[in-house]
Amino acid sequence: MAKSEKIRQQDAAELNQQVREAEEQLFRFRFQFSMGQVDGLKKYRQLRRDRARMLTELRSRELSAPEKGN
């Protein structure tokens, strides 16, 4: 199962929680990079992509919700 499929199966509350956790981890990574601890660049990039997938899915649901009501 692809990551995007896993994301689609989660509800909005779970996605919002995961976005907050990802943002916190990204903050920590940026802080570590500024201190010269540059290991984990691959993980940083993957985390950014995963966060973007979650935000895209949340936005997609937000935009499709009013259409279902009409």
pLDDT at 62 over 80: yes
Backbone angles phi, psi at 51, to 5 degrees: -60, -40
What's the pLDDT score for residue 68? 61
pTM of the predicted structure, to 2 decimals: 0.81
pLDDT at 50: 94
* pLDDT for res 69: 55
d(CA 40, CA 4): 23
**pLDDT tens profile 16-61:** 999 999 999 999 998 888 888 777 788 899 999 999 999 999 999 9
pLDDT of res. 34: 86
